[in-house]
């Protein structure tokens, strides 16, 4: 009986320690009225204290044939979309990007035309470049 209780306690501990940490989510959606193929010029609005995420987003969009500029100022005239993003970072022995949300917005109305999200906890973590690639690819997969 004592061995059974110890075994169950050990199994419970193992189950607790090996579940719940390996969570990931990746989504992308496009408003039905939006034609992503028509968006040829975009402006990535850099958030304060961002070192490189804005550049990774711009590079990924350029790889899709889009003309991209970046900056902290309001978007210049003549762009088809303003790209905003939110990156959340976490510490687990090293800093890693926990979550990234990217939104393509109408430059005139700020309406979210398309959005994508990637969430990876420590055990499934991706590099910032991989997170950007996953989000942008999922946005374009959501296009009709």
Place of tokens 């690819």: 137
State the residue range of the domain holding 41.
22-141
Q: Is residue 9 part of a domain?
A: no
At residue 129, the pLDDT reads 96
Q: Is residue 16 part of a domain?
A: no
CATH number (domain holding residue 90): 3.30.160.670
Please say if the pLDDT value at position 101 is more than 90: yes
The tally of domains found in the chain comes to: 1
Tell me what the mean pLDDT of segment 111-125 comes to.
91
Q: Is residue 7 part of a domain?
A: no
pTM of the complete model beyond 0.85? no
At residue 8, the pLDDT reads 52
| Residue scoring higher pLDDT (24 or 113) | 113
The three-state DSSP-derived secondary structure of 42-62 is EEEECCCCCCCHHHHHHHHHH
Q: How far apart are CA 104 and CA 116, in angstroms?
A: 9
Torsion of CA 83, 86, 87, 89, to 10 degrees: 170
């Amino acid at each position: 009986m004592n061995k059974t209780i110890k075994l169950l306690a050990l199994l419970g501990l193992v189950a607790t320690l090996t579940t719940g940490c390996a969570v990931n989510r990746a989504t992308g959606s496009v408003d039905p009225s939006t034609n992503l193929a028509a968006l040829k010029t975009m402006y990535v609005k850099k958030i304060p204290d961002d070192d490189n995420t804005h550049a990774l987003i711009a590079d990924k969009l350029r790889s899709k044939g889009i003309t991209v500029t970046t900056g902290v100022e309001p978007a210049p005239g003549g762009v088809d979309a303003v790209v905003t993003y939110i990156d959340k970072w976490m510490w687990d022995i090293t800093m890693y990007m926990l979550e990234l949300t990217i939104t393509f917005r109408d430059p005139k109305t700020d309406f979210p035309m398309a959005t994508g999200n990637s969430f990876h906890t420590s055990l499934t973590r991706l590099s910032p470049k991989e997170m950007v690639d996953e989000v942008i690819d999922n946005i374009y997969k959501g296009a009709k």
